[in-house]
Structures are given as C-alpha cells and as structure tokens.
Structure 1
Amino acid sequence: MTVVRLPTRSGHRYGGAVVGATVLEEAPEESVEALALRFRDGDEAALGAVFDRWSGLVHTFAVRALGDPHDAEDVTQQVFVAAWRSRATITPGPSTFPAWLVGIARHKVADARAARARDARKVHAVAAVTTPDESVATDSALAERLVVRQLVDEMDEPRRTVLLLAFWHDRPHSDIAATTGLPLGTVKSHLRRGLAQLHRVLEEVRHGSR
C-alpha cells in the first residue's frame, strides 16, 4: 500500500506562491500550470507545494460545508491523498487545477456527511433501547436495555467511557476526544467498533427470544 505523506497545513492563503522566504501575493498563471504538470508527472516536491498553496482553500470549503474543524482537517487530508492517487486525470491549467481540487473536496464532504448520517442512525437505534421509559417498555425492550448497559459497563477502557459519553451524555466526538485525551480518529474507531459489538449482541438477544 502506498503511503502518501502530506506536510502540515500552513497559514499561506490561496493564491500565494512560496519562493524561499518570500510570499508572492499573485502567482503567474504559467507557474500554476507548471506546478500542475509536475504534480501530474509524479513529482513529490510538487505535492508539498500544491498542499501548501491550496490546502487553505480546501480546508475553508470543508469547514463551511461541515461546520466542524476536526472533520474539515480529515477531509483536507483525504482530498490531497485522493488528488495524488488520481493525478493522471489532471488537465493542467491555471484555473482548472484548483477547480479540480475543489471538485474532489465536494465528493469528500459528501462522504463525510453520509458517514455522519450513518452514525446518527446508529446512535438513534441504540438510544431507542437505552432510554428508560418503564411505563411503555415491554419486557423484551427492558431486557435489551439491560443487556446493552451491562455490555457497555463490561467493556475495557477507554471504549466504555467513549460509549457512555456519546450515548448516555450526548457528547459530540470532538468533546469526547478533548475529555479523554484520545485522538479524534481513535474516538470514532471505538464508537464504530462498540456499536458493532452492541448490535451483534442485540441480534443474539432478539433471535434467542423468538
């Protein structure tokens, strides 16, 4: 598997080319096209230059589209990895190259929104069997709630805390990461795997009660 290493996103604004220690406010169109050509030809130095020049544009677009800086950082990284892997499809040009990057960003934002929707459905499904309401709960629903809570309580840390904060305290992913000191990606991984484990056990309980 090819590993694409991207530099840390800098503070340079879109449209500013870096030459030595000097930041030029307007890059000549030819330099943009030349950079696109080097990028298409697999010049790894061009990857760093492209990331430095346009990551601010992509990140701003992702923040405005998703409303979450952490998710926007993930999307920004994904855009440039995807661009590098599909660089052979580029049509170099002073305006087509940044437009091509924004097009990739739109797809990655759509993927991020779809992932959020899937997570939301899973959260609602778990909440439906973990919110106490004894006046209307059937015996089977009560059993499922008890099984879910017991299973979560028996999970190893930090997964137990991550799930409790997410589903019982309704904390957002970024807040859980800050509270536990875990990377955001690790929090999301614990949530996905914990949900999968809960659904497997619930299916066993439901089938066993038939």
Structure 2
Amino acid sequence: MTTALHINAEIDDSALVDGFRNGDEASLEALHRRWGPLVYAHARRSTGDAREAEDIMQLVFFAAWRGRAGFTPERGTLPGWLLGITRRKIADALAARTRRTELVDAAAAQLLLTVTDEAVRPEAVLDRVLLTDELSRLPNHQRQVLNLAFYDDLTQTQIAELTGWPLGTVKSHARRGMHRLASRLQPDTGRERAAR
C-alpha cells in the first residue's frame, strides 16, 4: 500500500510539473503551497529575517513562473530548481543589504564632514549620497556628461568642446541620463532597487 501511495504522489507531482510548465496558474498555486515552506525556510535561515524571507519567497515563485520554460525535469527536480533560484535571490538580498549599509555609512561619513555647517540637513547629505550612487550606475558617456554639467558647472556647448562630441550627442546623453536618474530616484522604486 505504501508503494501505491508513493506512485500516486509521483503521478501527482508529474501532472503538477506539467501544468506549471504549460502555464496553469492553479499548478503554480499548488507548487507554492507544496514547496513554499521549503523556500521560505531556506531564505529565513540564510537571512535571519522573517519579512525578508517572505519577500524572497515571493520573488522566487515570480521568477520561477516567468522562467518556467527553462525548467527541464531531465536535468533535476522542481524543488531543486526552486532552491537554485532561492540561492540567487538570497545572494541578491544580502548584496542589497550590504549596499544599504554602505550607503548609510557613506551618508554618516559625509554628515560628519559637514557637521560644522548648520545649513546642512541629514536628508540633504543622504540625497547627495544616493545621487552619487545612481550616477555611478549610468552608462559611461551619460555619467560623464552629467558629472561635467553638475559638478564642473559646464554648459552643453562647453562639454561638446571638451569631449569632442557633437552638441547633439551631448544633449542626447544628458537627456537619457536625466531620464534614467529620474526613473531610478522615484520614491516608489526604492524597494525594487533594493531587491536587485
């Protein structure tokens, strides 16, 4: 009788995997119920934070759903595949945590340097650190144009002369860089940035 139950569980698992791979949302829900606790436990153990583990679990199942075509049963089990995604999401979360700590440390260091200036608010220092961080993530040409414009106070014509680029190219780099900065510095995208 135990063998019959084991065979039925394998059939159920096989049907569940097939449904998941074919885009059946009910199968995704069943997979989430069945293997969500495993993913959560692994994330909780690795991060030490229940809320972060919950976020990671949701990211794992979202990534699995989006990448379900990449799962091939011949190469391994679905729980093993989910744990592989979990490990990557944990690494991303821990890197984001480290990055947040570095930003806070940089803001604190900057604040200590400017503590004698009464006009400097802690929020302004943090904004400057965040802006510097986001500028560093821009493509090289966009970053170069914006640095010359903001920090060296050069006009676009002066930047074109300095770099040897056509004025239209400088304007294009400035516009694209500003657009990227604006989209990344929106208040509602902070959580997405931290999750990457």
**Paired letter, 1:104:** I
Report the Cα offset of residue 27 of structure 1: 6.8
- TM normalised by structure 2 equals 0.57
Deviations 1:71-99 (A, max 9, x none): 10110000000000000111237x61100
Matched, 1:115 2:96: yes
SS at match of 1:47: helix
Cα 1:199–1:142 shift into 2, 3 Å? farther
Alignment-derived partner of residue 188 in structure 2: none
Cα 1:33–1:141 shift into 2, 3 Å? same
Report the Cα offset of residue 151 of structure 1: 4.1
**1:173-188 aligned within 5 A:** none
Alignment-derived partner of residue 122 in structure 2: 149
Count the aligned residue pairs: 132
Matched, 1:60 2:41: yes
Report the Cα offset of residue 112 of structure 1: 0.3
Larger helix fraction of residues: 2
Aligned equivalents of 1:70, 1:107: Cα separation in 2: 17
Matched, 1:31 2:12: yes
- Where does the alignment leave 5 or more consecutive residues of structure 2 unmatched? 136-146, 153-196
Deviations 1:119-154 (A, max 9, x none): 0110000111334xxxxx6xx5633x75133748xx
Cα 1:51–1:91 shift into 2, 3 Å? same
Deviations 1:15-62 (A, max 9, x none): xxxxxxxxx999712211221111001111101101111100000000
Cα 1:45–1:146 shift into 2, 3 Å? same
**Paired letter, 1:105:** T
Contact 2:28 2:65 (8 Å CA) reproduced:
yes
Aligned equivalents of 2:96, 2:46: Cα separation in 1: 14
Matched, 1:87 2:61: no
Matched, 1:77 2:58: yes
Contact 1:58 1:76 (8 Å CA) reproduced:
yes
- Where does the alignment leave 5 or more consecutive residues of structure 1 unmatched? 1-23, 132-136, 153-194
- TM normalised by structure 1 equals 0.54
Larger radius of gyration: 2
Identity %: 42
